[in-house]
Amino acid sequence: MGSPGADREGQAATTERLHQVQRALLGGATVEQLFEATKIDPWYLDQLQLLNEISHEIRQAGP
């Protein structure tokens, strides 16, 4: 049995792991691919994707 917050591979839920997932989304990984790899609930992965999209729009708008 794993501890709460750990996935099936035993990787603990950390801020760095979250950044890795976010970078994977930016790099073109799909929510489905990341769910299969991490077992993170797709709702959360969708929220990260939305944050990436909004961040991109803000950068495009400029100062």
**Cα–Cα dist 1/40, whole Å:** 17
Tell me how far apart the terminal alpha carbons of the chain are, to the nearest angstrom.
50
CA distance 12 to 2: 9
How confident is the model over 18-48, as pLDDT tens digits?
899 999 999 999 999 999 999 999 999 999 9
- Reference 45, options 55, 33, 54; nearest CA is 33
Q: Is the pLDDT of residue 10 over 60?
A: no
Residues in the chain: 63
More confident residue, 23 or 3: 23
Distance of CA 25 to the CA centre of its chain: 6
Residue 62 pLDDT? 81
Confidence (pLDDT) at 56: 92
What residue ranges do the domains of the chain occupy? 15-61
| pTM, full prediction | 0.73
| Percent of residues, the chain, with pLDDT higher than 70 | 83
